Amino acid sequence: MLRRGESVSRRRGLVAGAVLLAVTLTGCADVAADPGTPTSPSTTPTSTPTSPSTSATPTSTPTSTPTTTPSTTAVTPSAKPTTSPTSKPTVKPPNPPKPPKPPAKPASQALLVERKLDSWGYPVGDVDGEITKRARQALCAYRETAGLPISRGPLTAADIKSVLSATAKPVPTKATGIYVNKTCLVLYQVVKNTYRRIVWVSTGGPGYETPNRTGKVWRKYAGAHESSLYEDAYMYDSLYFLKDRPGIALHGSRVNSLVKTYPASHRCVRVMRPQIHQIFAETPIGTKVQIYGKY
């Protein structure tokens, strides 16, 4: 228990401390309320923190905060671009107009005749408007089938008129069979009132003439075989048609060049290959074979 004198003295001390605390708090409020009041030099701290990261800076940085901040400083080009073209592009002048093509020359009458005969199966050779020996063989065959005078002569006005005015290929008047015209040196394969094939042939030469005869196919020899009369003379797909002249046949030769534009065989009838192969396959035993005309 305090004595009375000590109690009075202690109360006075508490009152004095309260007064001093009130004065101190009142002074802090004035500084915050009037920031423009000049600060006395005596109130300036004698030392300045050496680092901004003192007690005001957190000791640890959240992991979600990026450690670096992108610079916002704009980059200004140091100079204008120097890539301007040194010269203007070259403009090509427009292409000059092409000169008009000359009008196509009308096809010659000889060419028109060859085209038509070739489309009908007459063997003219090259369709070029040149009436060669081969074309004359075809023309000779047309004359025969169209009922005109038969010859291997050059193209005539009558031929041109007949061929170009015709609307259809001539129809044979002969029965089914094989017919060899020695004047034209052509073979007709007639099947059921139709010229199935018209092909070049070469008949027997001087001293070996192919006889003008009518016979029937009595023997067929497929493929190649050597002639029984002439050594080293090979015959292909032979059709024998005269029993009393057993060595005479229609056949292919080793090369087509042996089928001449004139009589050149040893009595047989040389036929182009592969035409003879096709004729051989389509001709049964007993088919009529007729040889006629004169070269």
Which residues are part of the catalytic machinery? Answer: 251, 268
| Residues 189 and 279 sit within 8 Å (Cβ to Cβ) | yes
CA angle 27, 28, 34 (to 5 degrees): 90
Which string of b and e fits 116-139 if b means at least 16 CB within 10 Å?
A: bbbebebbbbeeeeebeebbbbbb
For residue 38, CA distances in Å to 31, 90, 287 come to 10, 78, 145
Three-state DSSP class for residue 292: strand
Say which residues have a Cβ less than 8 Å from residue 207's Cβ, sequence separation at least 6. Answer: none
| Residues 258 and 270 sit within 8 Å (Cβ to Cβ) | yes
Say which residues have a Cβ less than 8 Å from residue 188's Cβ, sequence separation at least 6. Answer: 141, 145, 172, 174, 178, 179, 180, 181, 195, 197, 198
Say which residues have a Cβ less than 8 Å from residue 40's Cβ, sequence separation at least 6. Answer: none
